[in-house]
Chains A and B, each alone.
Chain A
C-alpha cells in the first residue's frame, strides 16, 4: 500500500509498551474519551518484536468515525512469569500492539534510571 508507513521497529527489537492510561482522561460528560486496543496488563511492560504484521487504519480513530491514518501493527512477545508474577518460565504471551503504543526498551530504561 502506498500510504503504509515504514515500520520503526524490526524483528527482535526490545520494545516497551507505553505506560499511558488514556481511558482515565474522560470527556466533561464523564464518558470515555477513547477506544484502546492495548490491554491494561501490558502497560509499561517490555517485550520483543516477533513479527511485523502490516499497517492498519488506527482503531482508536475508527471507533469515533474519525479519519484513521494507517499505523504499523506488531506481534510482540512478552515473557509470561513477570507479567503476573506467576506462571511457568518459558511460557509467554504474544499480542498485537500498534506502533504508537511502543517505544524502544533501551530509551525506556534510560528514562527510568
Chain B
C-alpha cells in the first residue's frame, strides 16, 4: 500500500486545482467524472475483453485492429485516454509490457498499475533479462517460444491478448475471464486452466 499523501502535497494539489478552475481549464464536474472513471477501471475490464476475443472471432479482429474501439464496445469510455493497442500472443511468441521511461499503463482497461510495474527493478531488468524476470513470477517460457518485450515509451498503451489455454473448450466468457489476471494482461504470467493443471 502507498503511504498516505503528505499534507503539503495535498495543499499543493488543492492550489493547483483552484488555479485550473479559476482559469476555466477544468470544472469540478469533469474532475469528479474522471475520478469516478479511474476508480471504476480494473483488470476485470481487460479480462472481459480477452475472454470475448477468445470466443468471438469478429471481436478478436476488432481488438487487434483497434483496442480503443474494442474497449468502447465493452462500455469503457476512452475519451481523453491514449489509444489502446493489443498484442497477440501465439504458441510461438509471448509479449511482456514495460515502460522503461516512466510507468505508462493502460489504466482505462486495467486500472491503477501495481507498484512493481513502476519499480526501478522491473523497468530496468525486464528489458534486459526478461526471461529471468518472468521466471521469478514462475513464468518459465520454453526456449521455442520467442519473447517480445514491449517498451511503452510514447503515446500508445498496450495490453496482451494471451493464448487461450488448452482444456477450456466450451467454457463461457465469465469462466474464461476468471483466468485472465492483471499479471496475465501485462504478460508477466500466463493464464492457467485449472482443469489442465489438475490433470497433470
Interface residues of A in 40-93 (CB under 8 A from B): 41, 53-54, 56, 59, 73, 77, 80, 83-84, 86-88, 90-93
> Bound complex: CA of A88 vs CA of B127, how far in Å?
12
- The answer, among B128, B143, B152, for a CB contact under 8 Å with A96, is B152
The answer on a CB contact under 8 Å between B128 and A59 is: no
Q: Please list 28 pairs of residues, one from A and one from B, whose beta carbons are closer than 8 Å in the complex, sorted by A's number.
A: A37-B101, A38-B153, A39-B100, A39-B127, A41-B100, A41-B127, A53-B156, A73-B154, A80-B130, A80-B147, A84-B128, A86-B128, A87-B128, A88-B147, A90-B146, A91-B130, A91-B146, A91-B147, A91-B149, A92-B148, A92-B149, A93-B148, A93-B150, A93-B151, A95-B151, A96-B151, A96-B154, A96-B156
The prevalent SS among residues of B at the interface is loop
* Size category of the binding interface on chain A: 20 to 34
For residue A94, CB closer than 8 A to chain B, the reply is yes
> Bound complex: CA of A41 vs CA of B85, how far in Å?
23
Contacts of A88 in B (CB 8 A): 131, 143, 147
- The answer, among B101, B128, B129, B146, for a CB contact under 8 Å with A92, is B146
The answer on a CB contact under 8 Å between B151 and A94 is: yes
For residue B155, CB closer than 8 A to chain A, the reply is yes
The answer on a CB contact under 8 Å between A97 and B127 is: no
Contacts of A94 in B (CB 8 A): 95, 148-151
Contacts of B146 in A (CB 8 A): 90-92
How far does the Cβ of A9 sit from chain B's closest Cβ, in whole Å? 16
Question: In the complex, which of the residues A37, A77, A96 has the most CB atoms of chain B within 10 Å of its own CB atom?
Answer: A96
**Other 4 A-B pairs with CB < 8 A, given A41-B128, A96-B154:** A41-B100, A88-B147, A93-B127, A94-B149
> Bound complex: CA of A36 vs CA of B88, how far in Å?
28
Contacts of B151 in A (CB 8 A): 39, 93-96
The answer on a CB contact under 8 Å between A87 and B101 is: no
- The answer, among A77, A80, A83, A96, for a CB contact under 8 Å with B153, is A96
Contacts of B83 in A (CB 8 A): 54
